[in-house]
Amino acid sequence: RAREIVALIDSAGIRPSVAGRTIGQLLLRPKPYAEGLGWQDYLADHKIETGLVRRVRFYLTSKASADDRDVVQRAAEREFRLLQGIHHPGIAHATDLIDHEFGPAVIFEHDPDSVRLNHWLSERGDQLAIEQRLSLVRDLAEIIQYAHSRHLVHRSLSPRSILVCDPDKPRQRLVVT
The 3-class secondary structure across the chain, one letter per residue, is CHHHHHHHHHHHCCCCCCCCCEECCEEECCCCCEEECCEEEEEEEECCCCCCEEEEEEECCCCCCHHHHHHHHHHHHHHHHHHHCCCCCCECCEEEEECCCCCCEEEEECCCCCEEHHHHHHHHHHHCCHHHHHHHHHHHHHHHHHHHHCCCCCCCCCHHHEEEECCCCCCCEEEEC
Q: What is the mean pLDDT of each run of 10 residues along the chain (177 residues)?
A: 83 62 88 85 90 92 79 90 92 93 90 93 91 94 95 89 91 93
**Model pTM score:** 0.80
What's the confidence (pLDDT) of residue 15?
61
Chain segment 113-158, per-residue pLDDT in tens:
999 999 999 999 899 999 999 999 999 999 999 999 998 998 889 9
